[in-house]
Amino acid sequence: MEYGICNLAVVPLRAEPNERSEQVSQVLFGEAFEILEWQEHWVQIITAYDNYKGWIARLQVNPLGHIAYKQIKNGHVPQTHRAITQAWKKADNSVLYLPVGSSLVFLEGDRCKIGHETFTIVGEIGASTNIATTAKSFLNSPYLWGGRTHLGIDCSGFTQSVFKLHDIKIDRDASQQAKQGTEVTDLKTVKLGDLAFFENKDARIIHVGIMLDQKHIIHASGRVKIELFDEKGIYSEEQKRYTHKFCIMKRYF
């Protein structure tokens, strides 16, 4: 087996080995992956964090040893909690602007190491206080299919990223997340952090959001926003209609 690690701020993960292919997710700084297939310009990978498959550009692959990969996959890795954190690259004194949830691998003091490269992290790395604070930090972030950052995020990337910052691991896609956790059958018992899932006319899970309380949900739809929720679904005061049909509620902690 061969392994790699992201040494750039963020790398698009594509469905197919083509620059025109859709972005299905993103690989963030410090995240490790297993290499499945090499092509001339592309590499198929599966991410260590959530076992998500996709293609990244060959020039964006930084090799990682087997032992280091296992340490990252099986250990607890500190991560950035701010929308943007500066990381100074020692080799050429250049700066990377790391998105929230970047992994600070092999961190010692304010320095993390990726292979032979050393990065100095500027500023505090402290965690958010609670799920609501973390979720609301994404307010007004634009919707971006496959996105995982404040600069662009999709609905399941939003829920996964918020949970990741609180050391709660869930899968990448809404349909996968809906198969995890414990079902909340009584909506009167909904609490902060429960995930609400929504379906299309074919009863397929297509959307997810985080409950703030029994009547309010924060989710990524056009942008990250807070809207009203009831047993029918999400009601948009902007559009004066229900925009998402409720399917199921799940709890993860």
Concerning whether 207 is annotated as a catalytic residue, the answer is: yes
Q: Among residues 81, 150, 207, 244, which one is catalytic? A: 207
Q: Among residues 81, 150, 219, 244, which one is catalytic? A: 219
Distance between CA atoms of residues 226 and 213, nearest Å: 11
Distance between CA atoms of residues 44 and 27, nearest Å: 13
Concerning whether 247 is annotated as a catalytic residue, the answer is: no
Contact by Cβ (8 Å): 10, 29:
yes
Which amino acid, 85? T
Residue 236, both tokens:
């948009």
Q: Which residues contact 60 (CB under 8 A, 6 or more apart)?
A: 6, 8, 11
Distance between CA atoms of residues 203 and 62, nearest Å: 41
Sign of the dihedral through C-alpha 253, 45, 106, 146 = negative
Contact by Cβ (8 Å): 58, 4:
no
Residue 244's region, left for phi above 0, alpha for psi from -120 to 50, else beta, is beta
Q: Among residues 6, 155, 244, 247, which one is catalytic? A: 155
Cβ neighbours, 10 Å, residue 94: 9
Which amino acid, 101? G
Q: Is 200 helix (H, G, I), strand (E, B) or coil?
A: coil
Instruction: Please give the positions annotated as active site.
Output: 155, 207, 219
